[in-house]
Structure 1
């Protein structure tokens, strides 16, 4: 495929990324602000020998994904915050069964039905696990349409590499904003599934996958093996680092908020302020070691200013990452409250002068 430049919403980029990764099955249920994803998948998948099915509910959709990926097919579901909550029981089963599903959450405001405005209020649910048990998804957070395209495609590879669900965590701004997108051929690796996929046992020994372990030793060993796998995911951590050694404050943000904060940091940097910018792209595993390296390499006592479209969630992971060696300051914006870069600049200047902003 030759590179093709188009104007696309973030949710459209996600759909195109799934198609580029040779996703074969899509199951979903309509909900704003991600409805363009099922629209594109309904149009394109049948042309490519795939299956699109609009389920009767989010519960049905996620369990159809479980069934499809258990046979080794690349499958995806997309939804938004309330719909994602309905899927959480099956999330735990997917992780326990070690199945490589791809889930997309285009976040909206909450709690409850909330609203359709921008929010990053599902951070805890995504990175800590919304279902039961000690499990994790690998979480990727794009901040523009190009990343949404490329990270969605990459999600299918990572899901198979680790035999683990991967979530694309987006939001209403990125989802609905149109911007240039280059559709290009991506190198997405496919991993063999011959040792686990349930494809029928004719001519071979039967295979068996399960998440039920009634023997206490087996359950212990299963959990320890999962934790070892989650630690191994550290090798695929992604982040953006625009921090210089002389910087005194580092602004940390992800997704759409990172776009606003990045512009604010660049504006102040151009005026001589000692301000750096750090953007986690992988939210689980969290890039704690790169943050610790920033502290180690700095000759100053750093401050970290964490801004997000919620009441303060990712700030907890930043505080864990710094291990008490730097001050961590929370700059939360509840759902639907969107700052201008100038607003962030004022807070950064204030933070450089004093510590009047809410501390964690």
Structure 2
């Protein structure tokens, strides 16, 4: 069967991929620059073809709690928003993590703080990669750098979320959400039947457990020692994820004197800056974290003994740079370069920053 190649926005790719990977329900609320996800799903009407529920909730808070209900019953459920909307969802996200429920959350970042701007940003790194809501929890965080990855990471997000019973977030920025590229859409997968959900998700509240005992989904534990055991179990799970699910991309790093570390749209700009720098005789490589958590700490640490400096290229005031510095542990100079207010730097600015900061 020939591949189906289409031209679409990153946000549209999320919607198409959600339908095709057998998503049971989407619950969201419009906010720029991710509104096309809900709009595309509404236009495609998957409830008529696959039975997928698509619902615009009355608020972001309502949407994330609908996700909680769907996830608790073992269903593949998805929500999306942009930065201020994700802020409103944080309590629900913490509840999902505390109840060990799988789901996929999409954040197409815009600038802040506050209402900020509708222009692109990467300033939600702290909010999502570091947990965001209350308590000691983690989100599996995938950072797409292309429209193709926007499509691919929906299925991957669900795979990881169900594998570890943990929420996964696709942390995109407004550039990737709004840009148009060719994309190969994934093949259609059927939604799981009720019997398959019962078999694959024995923890779910289906009302049809084999031993007729009810499953209770909760993040509440009133006894301190029991709550500590829960948290220790979570931390043990997170260590397993860190050992097995780190993803990253290396480009021209073998002979590099300087390393750009960047994710999302900034990785694309960083790659062009790398090419320009090499034309000028400056050996630059780029390391792109694909999973922002688990973070590629070990590979960055390995490069600390090989390069003369690292530049954390971000569309923010400097957030991922903290994790890069922790990874190298003072063994090499690490600097940050970024633009704010929705201004996207051009490759010339990045090359100039490299020269100013390191050469």
TM category, shorter:
over 0.9
Structure 1 counterpart of 2:276: 267
Which residue number in structure 2 is paired with residue 195 of structure 1?
202
Note if 1:293 corresponds to 2:302: yes
Residue 76 to residue 268, structure 1, CA distance change in 2 (3 Å) = same
Asked if 1:220 corresponds to 2:221, the answer is no
Query: Superposed, which structure 2 residues align to 1:107-256 within 5 Å?
Result: 107-185=109-187, 193-201=200-208, 204-234=212-242, 235-256=244-265
Measured against aligned partners, the alpha-carbon deviations of 1:311-336 in whole angstroms (never above 9, x if no partner) come to 11010010111111111111121131
The 1-side partners of 2:29 and 2:188 are apart by 28
The answer on whether the counterparts of 1:150 and 1:186 sit within 8 Å (CA) in structure 2 is: no
| Structure 1 residues 175-233: Cα deviation after superposition (integer angstroms, max 9, x where no partner) | 11111111133899989534201001476222122211112111111001101111111
**3-state SS of paired residue (2:200):** coil
Task: Identify if the C-alpha distance between structure 1 residues 187 and 264 changes in structure 2 by more than 3 Å, giving closer, same or farther.
Answer: farther
Higher mean alpha-carbon deviation, 281-290 vs 240-249, is at 240-249
Distance in 1, matches of 2:331 and 2:286, equals 18
Alpha carbons of 1:194 and 1:160: their partners in 2 closer, same or farther (altered >3 Å)?
A: closer
| Contact 1:24/1:50 (8 A) holds in 2 | yes
Using the TM superposition, name which of 260-269 and 181-190 deviates more: 181-190
CA contact (8 A) 2:253 2:286 kept: no
Q: Which is further off, 183-192 or 43-52?
A: 183-192
RMSD across aligned positions (CA): 1.9
Determine if the alignment matches structure 1 residue 308 to structure 2 residue 314: yes
State how far apart, in whole Å, the 2-side matches of 1:18 and 1:325 are.
Answer: 43
Query: CA deviation digits over 1:3-30, x for unaligned, max 9?
Result: 1111110111111222222111000111
Instruction: Report the CA distance between 1:345 and its aligned residue.
Output: 1.5
Q: 1:311 touches 1:332 (CA, 8 Å); kept in 2?
A: yes
- For the pair 1:16 / 2:12, whether they are aligned, the reply is no
Number of the residue aligned with 1:358: none
What is the distance in 2 between the residues matched to 1:210 and 1:344?
47
| Equivalent residues of 2:21, 2:186 under 8 A apart | no
Once the two structures are superposed, the pairs formed by residues 72-87 of structure 1 within 5 Å of their partners are: 72-87=74-89
Change (3 A) 1:319 1:145: same
In the superposition, the TM-score normalised over structure 2's length comes to: 0.93
2:354 is the counterpart of 1:345:
no
Normalised to the residue count of structure 1, the TM-score between the two structures is 0.93
Deviations 1:122-160 (A, max 9, x none): 110011111110001100000110111111221011100
